[in-house]
């Protein structure tokens, strides 16, 4: 701009808009403009996204190379894919920031990061990756925001998604956001998840808008018009994937089934793989249930004295 004789002074408000926009685009994908401009006439029903390229790289690399989480984490760190504080990436915090901003724009609510349910990918093992693939799923750090009758639901957690879905086919350090609107159905936005080029492209798009005299509100409306969100106390129901290590002795599985039955959680399917150790790896997929019920059975499993270690529970998301 300077080379062509243009003068551009950013006000604090405009500078803030550029920063917020760059933070919300998920690595260069123009999600904000899609929401505030292209989909302005739609009632947004749900926002879903893989919004951290580093996490997607780690999870897909584990599957492709058969490496452990620790091995791929070290590899990603060596390649410079992780923040100085890696937990911002693998802990889901960076992606949760983006989700909270997009939810605010999509639903006209004040940004409420404190109400985002956040869980990182550190507990995901190569066994989970292989088991998910065996059942037709892939593991993704997935953000979901939707306005329900119970309030605004926001979560950034590892989930199982169908392998043949758009998210399931997303490889490497790539991001994807799906916007669901009342009139347009699903809009899929996909692009590079990190790097100076995509980031610069996103920021310059905003800078050029200012140079052209286009001054749209950051959130699609005046910030003073945003309403305080009512966080959903409970998430929508869904099937869950459970991975347990059971003592290989008679009656162990019956005790687990009894705990699930008492909590009202029914089993859709179950697998047990061959093993040489005293613990038997058992995988269970439940019918639709609540996260609260899953948390209750995980707590009660420890009382059975047949479950070794910490069980893993992953939501299976319909996408």
Q: What's the CATH code of the domain at 142?
A: 3.30.360.10
> Which pLDDT belongs to residue 5?
41
> Which pLDDT belongs to residue 195?
62
Long-range pairs, 60-67, Cβ under 8 A, ≥24: 60/170, 60/171, 60/172, 61/172, 62/124, 62/126, 62/129, 63/129, 63/130, 63/133, 63/138, 66/126, 67/126
Alpha carbons within 13 A on the beta-carbon side of 144: 24
Domain annotation covers residue 231 = no
| Among 26, 32, 64, residue whose Cα is nearest residue 216 | 32
One domain for residues 20 and 164: yes
Domain annotation covers residue 232 = no
One domain for residues 177 and 294: no
Q: What domain count does the chain have?
A: 2
One domain for residues 31 and 61: yes
The last residue of a domain, from among 196, 225, 254: 225
Rounded CA-CA distance 244/283 in Å is 6
One domain for residues 70 and 134: yes
- Domain of residue 127: give its range: 2-225
One domain for residues 308 and 192: no
Domain annotation covers residue 301 = yes
> Which pLDDT belongs to residue 266?
96
DSSP 147-162: EETTEEEEEEEEEEEE
Assess contact for 167 and 142: CB atoms under 8 A: yes
One domain for residues 58 and 181: yes
> Which pLDDT belongs to residue 123?
92
* Radius of gyration of the chain, Cα coordinates, nearest whole angstrom: 22
Domain annotation covers residue 151 = yes
Buried b (16+ CB within 10 A) or exposed e, 163-175: eebbbbebeebbb
Q: State which residues of the chain have pLDDT below 50.
A: 1-25
One domain for residues 306 and 263: yes
| Among 35, 22, 34, residue whose Cα is nearest residue 204 | 22
> Which pLDDT belongs to residue 41?
82
One domain for residues 200 and 303: no
Is residue 98 flagged as an active site residue?
yes
One domain for residues 180 and 270: no
DSSP code for 118: E
Domain annotation covers residue 149 = yes
The last residue of a domain, from among 225, 259, 289: 225
List of residues 6+ apart from 64 with CB closer than 8 A: none
One domain for residues 204 and 299: no
Domain annotation covers residue 233 = no
CATH at 247: 3.30.70.260
Count CB-CB contacts under 10 A for residue 151: 15
Domain annotation covers residue 55 = yes
Residue from 33, 98, 228, 288 carrying the catalytic annotation: 98
> Which pLDDT belongs to residue 194?
61
307-316 and 267-272: which strand pairing? unpaired
Q: Give me the residues paired with residue 272 across strands.
A: 282
The last residue of a domain, from among 195, 225, 255: 225
Assess contact for 47 and 106: CB atoms under 8 A: yes
One domain for residues 6 and 107: yes
Domain annotation covers residue 91 = yes
One domain for residues 128 and 193: yes
């Amino acid at each position: 701009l300077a080379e062509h004789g243009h003068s551009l002074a950013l006000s604090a408000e405009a500078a803030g808009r550029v920063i917020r926009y760059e933070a919300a685009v998920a690595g260069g994908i123009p999600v904000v403009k899609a929401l505030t401009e292209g989909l302005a006439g739609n009632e947004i029903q749900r926002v879903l996204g893989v919004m951290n390229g580093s996490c997607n790289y780690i999870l897909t690399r584990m599957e492709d190379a058969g490496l452990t989480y620790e091995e791929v984490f070290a590899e990603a760190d060596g390649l410079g894919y992780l923040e100085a504080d890696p937990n911002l990436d693998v802990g889901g915090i960076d992606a949760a920031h983006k989700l909270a901003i997009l939810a605010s724009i999509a639903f006209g609510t004040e940004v409420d990061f404190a109400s985002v349910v956040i869980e990182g990918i550190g507990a995901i093992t190569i066994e989970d990756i292989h088991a998910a693939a065996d059942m037709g799923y892939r593991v993704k750090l997935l953000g979901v925001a939707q306005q329900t009758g119970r309030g605004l639901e926001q979560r950034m957690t590892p989930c199982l998604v169908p392998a043949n879905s758009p998210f399931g086919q997303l490889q490497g350090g790539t991001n994807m956001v799906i916007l669901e609107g009342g009139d347009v159905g699903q809009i899929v936005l996909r692009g590079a998840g990190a790097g100076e080029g995509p980031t610069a492209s996103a920021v310059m798009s905003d800078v050029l808008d200012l140079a052209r005299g286009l001054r749209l509100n950051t959130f699609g409306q005046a910030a003073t018009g945003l309403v305080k969100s009512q966080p959903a106390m409970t998430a929508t129901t869904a099937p869950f994937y459970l991975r347990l290590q059971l003592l290989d002795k008679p009656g162990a599985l019956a005790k687990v089934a009894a705990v699930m039955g008492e909590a009202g959680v029914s089993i859709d399917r179950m697998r047990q793989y061959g093993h040489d150790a005293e613990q038997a790896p058992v995988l269970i997929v439940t019918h639709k249930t609540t996260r609260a019920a899953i948390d209750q059975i995980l707590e009660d499993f420890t009382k059975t004295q047949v479950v070794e270690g910490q069980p893993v529970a992953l939501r299976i998301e319909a996408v």
